[in-house]
Amino acid sequence: MARKITIQDIARQAGVSKATVSRVLNHKPDVDPETRHRILAIIDEQGFVPSIVASGLAGGRSRLIGVLIPALTWPLIPELMRGVGEIIEHTAYELVLYSVNDSNHEKDRSDIIDHILSSRLVAGLLAIYPGQSVQHLKMLHKQGMPVVMLDDQELPPEELPWVGANQRLGAYEATRHLLQQGHRRIAHIQGPLKYQVSLDRYQGYCQALAEAGLQPDPAIVVQGDFMPPSGKECASYLLTGVEERPTAIFAASDLMAFGAIAAAEQHGLRVPEDVAIVGFDDISSSSHIRPALTTVRQPLYEMGQRAMELLLQVLEAAEDPVHDVQNSSFVRRSFRPMRRPSTPSHIQLETRLVVRESCGAIRNFSLYQ
């Protein structure tokens, strides 16, 4: 196997120092044009690919951005990352992906965040649905670390740069749509109440009912965990275990709505003729199940784009952090002052109701979205 070409090899062939080659690789202006041309010609001839990590550390500034995500199996992640990738490919940065493959998604991940930063490889961090680590991220941001959070809570931590969607309005519009279809007994399958997103969506549901002169019936408000089995179990209870069966179900996630559709089928009920079902998120499979799911679309692709754009703006405003590793279990950091970006640090995008067959408003397959 041929030996890998190094920056030292390029410098030797060009008759220059490693520092000169480094300045060319980092697009520094203080290199003689003829020398620059000679170095670039050798780089092209040798097929030399510089190490992003090495060049970043040598130049005093990393060109790597860390992205902390939950497990890769989360259905929202692919579309969010597609938006992130769309922005990053037009920059000099590369991504390092850190996936938390732990079933306990609520665990504080401050230790993982400290491990990422102690490596001194990343210039900034995009934290997607960080859960219990929010306060730690807020502390790091106050110290000057470039951090942006992409989350689904309606009220982000003060000052921490954040991108999200209007969860409460989305739930309000979903419930109002069912009311407009003539439903008055509308059940709600909540997500876990320890998540702000579950509370936001429940509040939107209650707001729409209140405007219609209705009060939420506790008997038909049940709690799931965002996943299909819980949606099926909750819907089975709503369809068979209450005195007056609801005519519609608003589930706080598409996956729970899938479970609700399965429960209706299991109990011999038709969707939407016997019970209308609406979800939330508009994941990729929601338009392909039968009946196709009416749902609230989160602009996941745009959320990924805007979050990465915001982090790049924060990076431009930041000076290089100084890391001081005390020991393997604790990282003490000191940062120089950071200029605040001129753009808003809290970005809330609008959701959109996508009407398909499961709510009963569309009966023509050619109109499906």
User: Of 10-14, 58-62, 151-155, 297-301, where does the model show the most confidence?
Assistant: 297-301
pLDDT digits (tens, 9 = 90+) for 19-45: 898 888 776 778 888 999 999 899 888
Of 1 and 123, the structure prediction assigns the larger pLDDT to 123
Provide the pLDDT for residue 334.
Answer: 36
Tens digits of per-residue pLDDT, 227-248? 999 999 999 999 999 999 999 9
Using the predicted structure, report yes or no on whether residue 106 has a pLDDT greater than 70.
no
Percentage of the chain exceeding pLDDT 70: 78
The answer to which of 6-10, 232-236, 304-308, 363-367 has the lowest mean pLDDT is 363-367
Q: What is the mean pLDDT of residues 241-268?
A: 97
What was the pLDDT predicted at 328? 29
Alpha carbon distance 319, 146 (integer Å): 9
Lowest mean per-residue pLDDT among 52-66, 173-187, 211-225: 52-66
> Domain map of the chain by residue range?
64-165+300-349, 167-298+351-367
Query: Phi and psi for 142 in degrees, rounded to 5?
Result: -65, -30
Three-class DSSP labels, the chain: CCCCCCHHHHHHHHCCCHHHHHHHHCCCCCCCHHHHHHHHHHHHHHCCCCCHHHHHHHCCCCCEEEEEECCCCCCCHHHHHHHHHHHHCCCCCEEEEEECCCCCCCCCCHHHHHHHHHCCCEEEEEEECCHHHHHHHHHHHHCCCCEEEECCCCCCCCCCCEEEECHHHHHHHHHHHHHHCCCCCEEEEECCCCCHHHHHHHHHHHHHHHHCCCCCCHHHEEECCCCHHHHHHHHHHHHHCCCCCCCEEEECCHHHHHHHHHHHHHCCCCCCCCCEEECCECCHHHHCCCCCCEEEECCHHHHHHHHHHHHHHHHHHCCCCEEEECCCCCEEEECCCCCCCCCCCEEEECCEEECCHHHCCCCCHHHCC
Question: CA-CA distance, 232 to 90, in Å (whole number)?
Answer: 43
> What kind of architecture, by CATH, is found in domain 64-165+300-349?
3-Layer(aba) Sandwich (3.40)
For residue 177, what pLDDT is reported?
97
Does the pLDDT value for residue 338 go beyond 70? no
CATH of domain 167-298+351-367: 3.40.50.2300
Most confident of 38-47, 128-137, 258-267, 338-347: 258-267
Q: State residue 249 phi and psi, 5-degree precision.
A: -130, 125
Q: What are phi and psi of 352, to 5 degrees?
A: -145, 135
Q: Is the full-model pTM beyond 0.85? A: no
The residue-averaged pLDDT of 335-364 equals 73
Highest mean pLDDT among 86-90, 91-95, 120-124, 301-305: 301-305
202 or 147, which is more confident: 202
Rounded to the nearest 5 degrees, what angle is found at the Cα of 129, between the Cα atoms of 125 and 135?
70
pLDDT at 264 over 50: yes
Indicate if the pLDDT at residue 186 is higher than 60.
yes
